[in-house]
Homo-oligomer: A and B are copies of this chain.
């Protein structure tokens, strides 16, 4: 007797669980080292030593009542919010204060908070395919309607003409994710400028507010010196969702933040509402110990060379096998063209070689598969002969 809205979700989720169980089954049959599981975005780089040091210092040095208590504001500790603001200002030349930062239960928590804050039933949220499939669930949670922009499979940059056409008076938000999951593509400054101009014009035309929501868990994961523009500088109604899941390898700890700049229309009201949404959605506050940990680790960096080595090895290896894919500039995913139209069938074929990957349909982009290369380097090295065998079935 579960809610009607949940019924389809449970059916979908069973498919993902089935894959997970398949991975476990394969591991028990062939040994975990002989299964090449590229399905999950769970970082394989340990959290920096500074995280451990911060945790120990905090629990040994701070009053446990204050350290583990509710924060007075649902938006987090004032000193943590200020430290995050200062760090952003230093890096990006912004001028945020404590009031602009809301500590959240990861980026997923932050996106739910901001959708709860903004969306009326029927409001449209635009996403550019391929996109992280959860955006659809987050939008549905608040009875919003996800509007898809079709993928440009040449460049995986957003199709701006289609974007312009699909903005309506019901468009409340546009969500971008750069560096992108699942393609690893970074949107260029020129792209962002054009996107901002389109949105400005549409706001004027319709007399509405259209929020640009920048989902940035992969901001620090870029290669070859790629620049990721800070979007609040290009468009006033920008809200940023950030997570330390990837940058500090803390995905299980659920810690991130939202930035709601003063330039956002009715910014005080939006900030207050996001504070309330944090409370009533049951987050109450971002985990307190981890709030203080990240404040102590703002200058820490994950080992990007680890991911880069994996990126090069997998990209070059797959290319050699005859597969085609765009070389990622960021994140830790490769989005590979399926050699056959039905990429689910391709995934099934790969499973025969103990290779697990996610069908592009999960990202609104069938005909492709996603490989998460945040795995042990040996997994990649050992998987390549298997990919070679797999390739022989097609090329």
Contacts and interface: CB of A to CB of B under 8 A. Distances in A.
Contacts of A304: none
B55 A59 contact: yes
A46 interface: yes
Considering the complex of A and B, which 5 residue pairs feature the smallest CB-CB distances, nearest first?
A: A252-B288, A112-B282, A108-B282, A137-B280, A109-B282
B141 A281 contact: yes
A121 to B, nearest CB: 9
A61 to B, nearest CB: 11
A38 to B, nearest CB: 15
Nearest to A65: B46
Q: Is the interface of A mostly helix, strand, loop or mixed?
A: helix
A336 B179 CA distance: 56
B134 A266 contact: no
A377 to B, nearest CB: 14
B56 A284 contact: no
A276 interface: yes
A55 B55 contact: yes
Interface string A37-63: 000101111110001100110011001
B253 A6 contact: no
Interface stretch (A66-74, A162-170, A192-200, A309-317): A66-74
A240 interface: no
A52 B64 contact: yes
B42 A64 contact: no
Interface in A183-209: 208-209
B72 A276 contact: no
Contacts of A285: 252, 254
A3 B252 contact: no
Interface residues of A, number: 80
A264 to B, nearest CB: 9
Contacts of A141: 116, 280-281
Nearest to A24: B72
Given A2-B118, A6-B116, A254-B105, A47 B72 contact: no
A4 interface: yes
A13 to B, nearest CB: 5
A156 interface: no
Contacts of A120: 3-5
A285 B42 CA distance: 13
B68 A249 contact: yes
A14 B279 CA distance: 13
A208 B106 CA distance: 37
Interface in A123-137: 134, 137
Given A10-B272, A46-B64, A105-B282, 12 more contacts: A1-B265, A3-B118, A6-B273, A13-B275, A13-B279, A40-B70, A43-B65, A52-B59, A55-B289, A105-B105, A111-B282, A254-B287
Given A42-B69, A44-B65, A287-B290, A117 B2 contact: yes
A69 B282 contact: no
23 contacts: A1-B265, A2-B269, A6-B116, A10-B276, A13-B275, A13-B279, A46-B65, A47-B68, A51-B64, A68-B253, A105-B105, A105-B254, A105-B282, A105-B284, A109-B282, A109-B283, A112-B282, A134-B280, A137-B280, A138-B282, A252-B287, A252-B288, A281-B282
